[in-house]
Amino acid sequence: MKKKRWAKISAFVGILGGPLALFFICAFLAAGIGASRSGVEESLSLLVPTFGIIFLVALKSACYYKKDERVNSVMAKLFAASSAVGFVVALLIALANIPTISGFGDWIMLVLFDGSDGFERALGFMFLSAILSVAWGIYYAICLRKFEN
Protein backbone atom coordinates (compact mmCIF):
# COMPACT_ATOMS: atom_id res chain seq x y z
CA MET A 1 0.00 0.00 0.00
CA LYS A 2 1.47 3.31 -1.08
CA LYS A 3 1.58 6.12 1.43
CA LYS A 4 0.10 9.53 0.83
CA ARG A 5 3.36 11.37 1.50
CA TRP A 6 4.14 12.04 -2.16
CA ALA A 7 0.55 13.06 -2.84
CA LYS A 8 0.87 15.68 -0.09
CA ILE A 9 4.20 16.86 -1.47
CA SER A 10 2.80 16.99 -5.02
CA ALA A 11 -0.23 18.95 -3.88
CA PHE A 12 1.93 21.40 -1.93
CA VAL A 13 4.48 21.89 -4.72
CA GLY A 14 1.80 22.22 -7.41
CA ILE A 15 -0.39 24.64 -5.49
CA LEU A 16 2.52 26.75 -4.23
CA GLY A 17 4.94 26.36 -7.14
CA GLY A 18 2.48 27.34 -9.86
CA PRO A 19 1.71 30.85 -8.58
CA LEU A 20 5.36 31.30 -7.67
CA ALA A 21 6.36 30.41 -11.23
CA LEU A 22 3.70 32.79 -12.56
CA PHE A 23 5.14 35.57 -10.40
CA PHE A 24 8.66 34.88 -11.69
CA ILE A 25 7.39 34.81 -15.29
CA CYS A 26 5.72 38.19 -14.77
CA ALA A 27 8.93 39.54 -13.20
CA PHE A 28 10.87 38.15 -16.16
CA LEU A 29 8.50 39.81 -18.61
CA ALA A 30 8.56 43.13 -16.72
CA ALA A 31 12.35 43.11 -16.58
CA GLY A 32 12.48 42.35 -20.29
CA ILE A 33 10.12 45.20 -21.12
CA GLY A 34 12.11 47.53 -18.90
CA ALA A 35 15.35 46.40 -20.57
CA SER A 36 16.90 45.40 -17.26
CA ARG A 37 19.41 42.65 -17.99
CA SER A 38 20.11 42.05 -14.30
CA GLY A 39 16.37 41.76 -13.61
CA VAL A 40 15.99 39.24 -16.42
CA GLU A 41 18.91 37.20 -15.08
CA GLU A 42 17.57 37.27 -11.52
CA SER A 43 14.08 36.21 -12.53
CA LEU A 44 15.49 33.45 -14.76
CA SER A 45 17.71 32.27 -11.93
CA LEU A 46 14.57 31.86 -9.82
CA LEU A 47 12.32 30.57 -12.60
CA VAL A 48 14.47 27.65 -13.75
CA PRO A 49 14.84 26.04 -10.28
CA THR A 50 11.14 26.58 -9.58
CA PHE A 51 10.14 24.71 -12.73
CA GLY A 52 12.88 22.16 -12.03
CA ILE A 53 11.51 21.38 -8.57
CA ILE A 54 7.96 21.14 -9.92
CA PHE A 55 9.17 18.78 -12.67
CA LEU A 56 11.18 16.53 -10.34
CA VAL A 57 8.32 16.22 -7.86
CA ALA A 58 5.85 15.49 -10.68
CA LEU A 59 8.17 12.86 -12.14
CA LYS A 60 8.74 11.20 -8.76
CA SER A 61 5.02 11.14 -7.94
CA ALA A 62 4.17 9.75 -11.39
CA CYS A 63 6.67 6.92 -10.86
CA TYR A 64 5.63 6.36 -7.24
CA TYR A 65 1.90 6.09 -7.95
CA LYS A 66 2.25 4.28 -11.29
CA LYS A 67 0.26 1.18 -10.27
CA ASP A 68 -1.90 2.82 -7.60
CA GLU A 69 -5.59 3.09 -8.45
CA ARG A 70 -6.16 5.99 -6.05
CA VAL A 71 -4.15 8.32 -8.28
CA ASN A 72 -5.07 8.37 -11.96
CA SER A 73 -1.91 7.51 -13.88
CA VAL A 74 -2.93 9.66 -16.85
CA MET A 75 -3.23 12.72 -14.61
CA ALA A 76 0.12 11.98 -12.99
CA LYS A 77 1.79 11.64 -16.39
CA LEU A 78 0.18 14.86 -17.63
CA PHE A 79 1.49 16.65 -14.53
CA ALA A 80 4.99 15.41 -15.33
CA ALA A 81 4.68 16.30 -19.01
CA SER A 82 3.35 19.81 -18.47
CA SER A 83 5.99 20.58 -15.86
CA ALA A 84 8.68 19.19 -18.18
CA VAL A 85 7.58 21.61 -20.90
CA GLY A 86 7.86 24.57 -18.53
CA PHE A 87 11.23 23.44 -17.24
CA VAL A 88 12.73 22.81 -20.69
CA VAL A 89 11.52 26.14 -22.11
CA ALA A 90 12.77 28.08 -19.08
CA LEU A 91 16.09 26.24 -19.25
CA LEU A 92 16.47 26.99 -22.97
CA ILE A 93 15.83 30.69 -22.38
CA ALA A 94 18.32 30.67 -19.51
CA LEU A 95 20.94 28.86 -21.60
CA ALA A 96 20.54 31.47 -24.34
CA ASN A 97 21.86 34.04 -21.85
CA ILE A 98 25.09 32.17 -21.09
CA PRO A 99 27.79 33.59 -23.40
CA THR A 100 29.72 30.40 -24.13
CA ILE A 101 26.71 28.36 -25.19
CA SER A 102 24.35 31.12 -26.32
CA GLY A 103 24.94 30.27 -29.99
CA PHE A 104 23.76 26.71 -29.45
CA GLY A 105 20.83 27.91 -27.32
CA ASP A 106 19.87 30.46 -29.97
CA TRP A 107 19.97 27.74 -32.62
CA ILE A 108 17.67 25.49 -30.56
CA MET A 109 15.27 28.36 -29.92
CA LEU A 110 15.26 29.17 -33.64
CA VAL A 111 14.51 25.56 -34.54
CA LEU A 112 11.76 25.15 -31.93
CA PHE A 113 10.17 28.58 -32.15
CA ASP A 114 10.59 29.69 -35.76
CA GLY A 115 9.59 33.22 -36.67
CA SER A 116 9.31 36.49 -34.84
CA ASP A 117 6.78 35.25 -32.29
CA GLY A 118 9.04 32.57 -30.79
CA PHE A 119 9.53 34.38 -27.50
CA GLU A 120 5.78 34.86 -27.11
CA ARG A 121 5.24 31.15 -27.70
CA ALA A 122 7.90 30.29 -25.14
CA LEU A 123 6.26 32.58 -22.59
CA GLY A 124 2.89 31.04 -23.43
CA PHE A 125 4.24 27.56 -22.77
CA MET A 126 5.67 28.69 -19.44
CA PHE A 127 2.40 30.38 -18.44
CA LEU A 128 0.44 27.27 -19.40
CA SER A 129 2.82 25.03 -17.47
CA ALA A 130 2.56 27.19 -14.35
CA ILE A 131 -1.24 27.26 -14.51
CA LEU A 132 -1.43 23.51 -15.10
CA SER A 133 0.85 22.84 -12.14
CA VAL A 134 -1.73 24.53 -9.93
CA ALA A 135 -4.44 22.35 -11.47
CA TRP A 136 -2.42 19.17 -10.90
CA GLY A 137 -1.65 20.28 -7.34
CA ILE A 138 -5.37 20.65 -6.71
CA TYR A 139 -5.91 17.21 -8.26
CA TYR A 140 -3.40 15.65 -5.86
CA ALA A 141 -5.06 17.49 -2.96
CA ILE A 142 -8.38 15.95 -4.00
CA CYS A 143 -6.72 12.52 -4.21
CA LEU A 144 -5.65 12.82 -0.57
CA ARG A 145 -9.20 11.84 0.47
CA LYS A 146 -8.70 8.39 -1.05
CA PHE A 147 -5.76 7.60 1.24
CA GLU A 148 -5.96 6.25 4.76
CA ASN A 149 -4.31 8.12 7.61
CA atoms within a 13 Å half-sphere pointing along the CA-CB vector of 65 = 29
Q: How many domains is the chain built from?
A: 1
Closest residue by Cα to residue 48 from 81, 12, 17, 16: 17
pLDDT of residue 100: 72
Residue range 73-124, pLDDT digits in tens: 888 888 899 999 999 988 888 877 777 776 776 676 666 666 656 677 788 8
pTM listed for this prediction: 0.85
Distance, in Å, from the CA atom of 56 to the CA atom of 21, rounded to the nearest integer, reads: 15
Q: Which region among 5-9, 15-19, 55-59, 81-85 has the lowest average model confidence (pLDDT)?
A: 5-9
Structural domain span for residue 135:
5-146
